[in-house]
């Protein structure tokens, strides 16, 4: 009896710890390969003249209202529940630069990893798309995104998440994203990610004096489909040092370590059930002793 | 089931309960406002701090404080300590209420609540989403808790004047008896899963949560601390009942329970410290900047009750036991607030402090919990037999 009990407790302890920490021999989840057909954008900050035509085109193409309704002109300063892209200016010791903020369409996106029933999902060409029909409005995607991209319609009683979807409705009709269609200097261009990455590297090689020697997004946070070139350090433009690990790596490794195939929870359940049963049996045998 | 268990219809309630009712009323008004006007109008939430008081307090802290049923069940069923049986039902009441109201807080907090039922669409499940697991587990656990508690209702209804209730009691009892073992086991499995996952939720915030808090051990730390909080609530709740219903505290039982609490607290502290050392964050812990102070106070709050309860004499005094329990609840709450709000920094100058409606709604939920507890305890056989009238032996 005591032996049994000890074995039971030991089993419970081991499974419990494994459940809580994912301490089983777990191999960290592998990196996803870049899809051949992955589309992307290249934003070359040195070519941007800050005319904001892209912002106007984005608003029109996505049927978004003005940032401040009722105002005679539009003046968004940040992404918001009404604004999917914004041009910001940096001026400092490193010189000056414009910056186009929008969703980077990560290769291995944190927002997709956390979304419960796939409202945020990878769609054709690797575009990170949003389906309001599956969105619960939990805002976990906002917590997860390292670039603070997804925004919430705070002022609506029936809110949605708002973020750039690379104008996938236009792509479906054979067009390009609105911002890339209208940009007068070609600062933001649409294309296959592979081609854009090669082009970006070519530009750096041709004008090493003009660029920070790095294509942001090549491997940052596991790689993104929107790539950046700039003359000032990227972190000044709001593109932080994130390392090359995909953001969801840790959480998915821990979570799958614990729940892979549901074996650990199932084993734990059976063990707990056995313990409860033993307790009940014992209780009905020496019930009186228990009461005191 | 338990011959010493009584309902307490005769208890009178103190005046302060009127205040609780007013709070609940105010809360309901604010909730209506939230649904009509949206989250922006009623909360201080923003795109940097999309989760605020309702998540950090009502859901994450609230369900941890509702772990009394879980913590006692581990003791009674897994560690086979039948002596604690009288604590089971009162603990289950706090748990059932706590989790049900956390469910309410979730409905309030999510933006598109009408889509909530879709988390049951198995074919759309995203197995990578920690939140999905938390949501499913909490839903299931609310059901499990009320089933676990249902013997108390059935016992009462056996003598009911209504024939329907008598019938339910008669038919329900045997079914329940047969299923109860596996329900109880679920009642231990589910909290183990989702309480640890409430820690895992923040694993994704690799660059937003301060490194003193962001660790792969988040799930383990959340799990251990919720068990400590569960025991603390059981102590707190029996002190409260003894005050409200003029009952003797189950002193001996609580004293031995508190030695279990000391053990849990020490395990937690060792894990917390070992983790900080292993990850090379010890220097950050003693830098004495804001985050370091936050961390040190948090650790002190866990350490204090452990030290207080180390001596046997302190354990047998209900006053110090009560104080230690309060500290322990505070420690667990502090830790959760750190992880979810204070040590969470999205950058770009975002700030968050809860709005008045957020605060009122949170307080009204606590008020509702206390009122619900008293209402259930008065009507159904929940508390052990130590009323002033029937002192055991
Ligand atoms: S930038 Fe943010 S919102 Fe866009 S794909 Fe990456 S994680 Fe998702
Ligand atoms: S808010 Fe919507 S899109 Fe974002 S994680 Fe939640 S369900 Fe997914």
Nearest Cα residue to A45 out of A229, A290, A280, A216? A229
- Looking at chain B from residue 70 to 99, which residues have their Cβ under 8 Å from any Cβ of chain A? 76-80, 82-83, 85
Global pTM?
Answer: 0.90
Rounded distance between C-alpha atoms, residue B343 and residue A104, angstroms: 26
| pLDDT reported for residue B253 | 79
| pLDDT reported for residue B366 | 93
CA dist A199 → A176, A195, A227 (Å): 18, 6, 11
Per-residue pLDDT band for A9 (boundaries 50, 70, 90) equals low
Nearest Cα residue to B342 out of B277, B298, B281, B286? B298
∠ CA(B84), CA(A16), CA(B285), 5° rounding? 100
| pLDDT reported for residue A283 | 74
Interface contact B80-A282, CB threshold 8 A:
yes
User: Which single residue is written with the structure tokens 């990893």?
Assistant: A113
Contact B183, B148 (CB under 8 A): yes
Interface test mutation site (partner A, options B126, B352, B355, max chain A beta carbons within 10 A): B126
∠ CA(A168), CA(A169), CA(A172), 5° rounding? 85
Q: Distance from the CA of B276 to the center of ligand 2, in angstroms?
A: 32
- Looking at chain B from residue 303 to 332, which residues have their Cβ under 8 Å from any Cβ of chain A? none
Reported as a single tens digit per residue, the pLDDT across B301-347 is 999 999 988 877 777 777 888 889 999 999 999 999 999 999 999 98
CA A54 to chain centre: 23
Q: Distance from the CA of A99 to the center of ligand 2, in angstroms?
A: 26
A114: helix, coil or strand? helix
| pLDDT reported for residue B79 | 84
A191: helix, coil or strand? strand
User: Which single residue is written with the structure tokens 């209900």?
Assistant: B318
Residue B144 has pLDDT above 80, yes or no: yes
Q: Which of A114, A155, A276 faces B184 most closely, judged by CB atoms?
A: A276
Reported as a single tens digit per residue, the pLDDT across B207-250 is 999 999 999 999 999 999 999 999 999 888 888 777 777 666 67
Q: Is B121 within 8 Å of chain A by CB?
A: yes
For A244, what's the count of Cα atoms within 13 Å in the CB-facing half-sphere? Answer: 6
Residue of A nearest to B105 (CA): A138
- CB neighbour burial string for A76-105, b if at least 16 within 10 angstroms, e if fewer: beebbbbbbbbbbebeeeeeebbbbbbbbb
Please list every residue in chain A whose beta carbon sits closer than 8 Å to the beta carbon of residue B51.
139, 143
Reported as a single tens digit per residue, the pLDDT across A135-192 is 999 999 999 999 999 999 999 999 999 999 999 999 999 999 999 999 999 999 999 9
Q: Is B290 within 8 Å of chain A by CB?
A: no
B209: helix, coil or strand? strand
- The values of phi and psi at residue A67, to 5°, are -60, -50
Rounded distance between C-alpha atoms, residue B277 and residue A255, angstroms: 24
Residues near B167 by beta carbon (within 8 Å), at least 6 away in sequence: none
Higher pLDDT, A69 or B187: B187
| pLDDT reported for residue B249 | 62
Reported as a single tens digit per residue, the pLDDT across A228-260 is 999 999 999 999 999 999 999 999 988 888 887
- Which residue's alpha carbon is nearest to atom 4 within ligand 1? A103
DSSP category for residue B338: I
Please list every residue in chain A whose beta carbon sits closer than 8 Å to the beta carbon of residue B217.
21
| pLDDT reported for residue B392 | 32
Mean pLDDT value across residues A191-214: 95
Residues near A228 by beta carbon (within 8 Å), at least 6 away in sequence: A42, A43, A45, A215, A216, A217, A234, A237, A239
| pLDDT reported for residue A27 | 55
Q: Which of A110, A148, A155 faces B204 most closely, judged by CB atoms?
A: A110
Bridge partner residues of A80 (DSSP):
A83
Atom of ligand 2 nearest to the CA of A114: 5
Q: Strand A39-44 vs strand A226-229: parallel, antiparallel, or unpaired?
A: parallel
CA dist B375 → A211, B370, B372, B381 (Å): 70, 9, 5, 12
SS3 sequence of A12-78 = HHHHHHHHHHCCCCCCCCCCCCCCCCCEEEEEECCCCCCCCHHHHHHHHHCCCCCCCCCCCCCCCCC
User: Which single residue is written with the structure tokens 């607030």?
Assistant: B337
Helix-then-strand count for chain A, H and E: 10, 9
Reported as a single tens digit per residue, the pLDDT across B238-281 is 887 777 776 666 777 788 888 888 999 999 999 999 999 999 99
* ipTM of predicted assembly, 2 dp: 0.89
Alpha-helical (H) ranges within chain B are 17-37, 39-42, 53, 62-65, 68-73, 88-109, 130-157, 163-200, 218-244, 251-278, 282-285, 290-308, 312-316, 318-337, 356-379
- The values of phi and psi at residue B185, to 5°, are -65, -40
- Which of B13-22, B142-151, B189-198, B325-334 comes out lowest in average pLDDT? B13-22
């Amino acid at each position: 009896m005591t032996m049994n009990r000890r074995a039971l407790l030991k089993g419970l302890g081991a499974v419990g710890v494994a459940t809580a920490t994912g301490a089983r021999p777990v191999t960290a989840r592998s990196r996803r390969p870049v899809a051949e057909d992955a589309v992307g954008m290249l934003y070359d900050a040195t070519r941007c003249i800050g005319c904001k035509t892209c912002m106007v085109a984005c608003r029109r193409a996505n049927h978004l209202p003005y940032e401040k309704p009722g105002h005679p002109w539009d003046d968004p300063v940040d992404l918001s529940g009404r604004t999917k892209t914004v041009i910001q200016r940096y001026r400092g010791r490193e010189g000056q630069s414009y910056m186009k903020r929008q969703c980077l369409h990560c290769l291995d996106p944190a927002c997709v990893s956390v979304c419960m029933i796939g409202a945020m999902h990878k769609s054709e060409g690797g575009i990170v798309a949003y389906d309001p029909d599956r969105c619960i409005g939990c805002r976990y995607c906002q917590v997860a995104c390292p670039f603070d991209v997804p925004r919430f319609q705070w002022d609506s009683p029936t809110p949605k998440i708002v973020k750039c979807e690379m104008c996938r409705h236009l792509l479906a009709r054979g067009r390009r994203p609105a911002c890339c269609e209208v940009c007068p200097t070609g600062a933001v261009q649409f294309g296959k990610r592979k081609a854009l990455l090669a082009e970006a590297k070519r530009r750096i090689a041709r004008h090493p004096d003009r660029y920070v020697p790095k294509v942001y997004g090549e491997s940052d946070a596991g790689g993104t489909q929107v790539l950046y070139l700039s003359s000032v350090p990227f972190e000044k433009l709001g593109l932080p040092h994130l390392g090359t690990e995909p953001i969801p790596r840790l959480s998915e490794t821990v979570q799958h370590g614990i729940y892979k195939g549901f074996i650990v929870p199932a084993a734990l359940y059976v063990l707990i059930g056995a313990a409860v049963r033993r307790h009940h049996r014992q209780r009905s045998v020496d019930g009186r002793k228990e009461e005191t | 089931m338990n011959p010493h268990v009584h309902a307490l219809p005769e208890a009178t309630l103190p005046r302060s309960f009127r205040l609780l009712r007013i709070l609940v009323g105010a809360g309901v008004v604010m909730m209506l406002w939230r649904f009509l006007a949206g989250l922006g109008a009623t909360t201080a939430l923003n795109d940097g701090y999309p989760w605020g008081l309702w998540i950090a307090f009502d859901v994450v802290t609230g369900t941890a404080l509702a772990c009394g049923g879980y913590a006692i069940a581990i003791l009674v069923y897994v560690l086979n300590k039948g002596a604690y049986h009288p604590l089971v039902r009162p603990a289950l009441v706090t748990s059932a209420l706590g989790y049900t109201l956390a469910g309410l807080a979730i409905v309030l907090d999510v933006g598109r609540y009408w889509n909530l039922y879709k988390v049951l669409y198995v074919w759309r499940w995203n197995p990578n989403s920690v939140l999905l697991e938390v949501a499913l587990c909490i839903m299931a656990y609310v059901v499990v808790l009320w089933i676990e508690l249902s013997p108390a209702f059935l016992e009462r209804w056996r003598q009911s004047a209504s024939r329907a209730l008598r019938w339910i009691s008669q038919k329900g009892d045997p079914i329940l008896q047969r299923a109860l073992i596996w329900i109880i086991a679920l009642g231990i499995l589910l909290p183990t899963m989702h309480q640890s996952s409430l820690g895992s939720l923040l694993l994704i915030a690799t660059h937003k949560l301060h490194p003193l808090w962001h660790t792969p051990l988040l799930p383990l730390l959340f799990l251990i601390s919720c068990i400590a909080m569960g025991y603390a609530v059981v102590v707190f709740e029996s002190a409260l009942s003894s005050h409200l219903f003029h009952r003797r505290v189950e002193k001996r039982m609580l004293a031995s329970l508190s030695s279990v609490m000391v053990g849990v607290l020490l395990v937690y502290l060792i894990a917390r410290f070992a983790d900080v050392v292993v990850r090379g964050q010890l220097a950050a812990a003693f830098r004495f900047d804001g985050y370091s102070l936050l961390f040190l106070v948090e650790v002190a709050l866990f350490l204090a009750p452990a030290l207080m309860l180390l001596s046997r004499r302190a354990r047998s005094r209900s006053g110090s036991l009560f104080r230690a329990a309060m500290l322990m609840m505070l420690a667990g709450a502090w830790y959760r607030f750190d992880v979810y709000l204070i040590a969470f920094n999205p950058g770009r100058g975002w700030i968050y402090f809860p709005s008045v409606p957020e605060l009122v709604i949170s307080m009204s939920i606590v008020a509702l919990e206390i009122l619900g507890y008293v209402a259930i305890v008065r009507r159904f056989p929940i508390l052990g037999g130590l009323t002033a009238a029937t002192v055991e032996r």
